[in-house]
Structure 1
Amino acid sequence: MPWLQLKIETSAEMAEQIGGMFTANGAQAVTFVDAKDTPMYEPKPGEVMLWPDTQVIGLFDASDDMPAIIKRLGNAKVLGKDFKYRLEPLEDKDWEREWMDNFHPMQFGKRLWICPSWRDVPDPNAVNVMLDPGLAFGTGTHPTTSLCLRWLDGVDVEGKTVVDFGCGSGILAIAALKLGAKNVIGIDIDPQALQASMDNAQRNNVADRLSVFLPDNQPTLEADIVMANILSGPLLELRSVITNYCKQDGLLVLSGILAEQVPRIETAYQQHFNLEPTAIDDEWARVSGQRIR
């Protein structure tokens, strides 16, 4: 189906109101994007953060009467009759197919490969994680996940109990199991993430060693390895929870951290962990260490 994109640049204060006007006029979807290149990180729970200069994009069916829609928008006091806009066609593609075609097997460290479930593995003798991300985050393409996978490939997980805090698609949990972990406990706030983790675990024949929980139901235990690839805000707020999962001499790896946020993370965790040198990939960082006796 052919689509049209209607784009209007506005302020953060007006963006949601304009988005509502798009929806009221038949937009199938409304997106807010940065109009100027302004960094914006980590909204608080329930908070919607928009850039000072925000572009509102409405997706309309190409058969919609766009002149009439634009006229109705202009009649509103919010925009006025002479408001500036861009109306562009959106190429008609099978976007899911497009994404699948561009998701290739990737190697992390010496042994570990992440392979899309719809592609052949490049090295049958490697440790291959077959992944279908579904609706959950985590394919290995983002630097934060890549940093954790490379770290995981370089440590001894054989026979260990592992916690994957913020498990997403289950990519780290399943990688740990395929590398020899005894069992993994996955925790996430999103039920769809837990379902994606279990689906991917079944695809990799390790579901019998993976248990998943929402935070309200998370178990009490001490693990040999704790992984938390989330964001710096939750890493700080949940420091005691994450720390208490890690037994004495256990290993910890944290990511989802911007390089500029590393000092705060290190200050928060160095009381209980001997921290290793921070690893940096692009603007993202990985903090890791061993629990102090």
Structure 2
Amino acid sequence: MSAIEISNVTKTLNEFELNIENLNIEKGFITGFIGPNGSGKTTTIKLILNMIFKDSGSIKIFGKEYKSDDIDIKQMIGYVGDVSGYIPESKLKDIKKGISVFYKNWDEKVYQKYVEKFKLNENKRYKDLSKGQQKKFELVMALSHHPKIIIMDEPTANLDPLVRNEFLEILQEHIEKEEATVFYSTHITSDLDKVSDYLVFIYNGKIIFKGERDIILDNHRIIRGNKNLIDNDTKKELVSFKENQFGFEGLTSNVKSAYEVFGEEVVYDKANLEDILMYYTRG
């Protein structure tokens, strides 16, 4: 069973339209959700969290679909976003006290373990924490009720690399112990290069591609060569390309097929997720 199943979901917000025909998030893995701003990442997450209502289609969490207010489903989900929603003037211990009572699986030992690990002072007000400490506290709150699914919407935005690495290490450690599922939306593709098992790329409200990260990276290559190699047939092998005074540079999504066309006349370089995102957006 998939952790999240999305089928034929549509949602119109002003002039933006989200249309996801089929998307299954694999249980027990980290799935990266990428795409440029305005593509529908946050809208999709809000639909999964039942914060907004879909126009049509089906969203199931471990085979269950939301009713008007399905507490059982919400018990299974932990969330860390760009904005926490906590009252800035509240002390950490008061935030914990107010939220923990809503979770039947709240684990005070897990909470205290991570508070000590992150060296968080519970008597401090949330607004007095650094950005990094705020995110650590939000992660602690998300992990302390043993969620089966952890949904993240730009959780490491504006954090320095050291804090991001610590954040990701704790996340990986937790899901290995808990066999949890992570759905991780971010524009920081280097984070997903490190931790993701699967990738979903959304653009203009539609899923452009999805699959195992390693297979996607293996299939994509940046191709560089002479401009005279570009014609109507060779363009078909490229997601998009750009030309300069020295030649052309483009991205292929099928390196085997591209090799049959270009052969040894071009250079094939590995592409990272940032490269892939850039060329698909350009295309």
TM normalised by structure 2 equals 0.27
| Structure richer in helix, relative to its length | 2
By relative contact order (CA 8 Å, sep 6+), the higher-ranking structure is 2
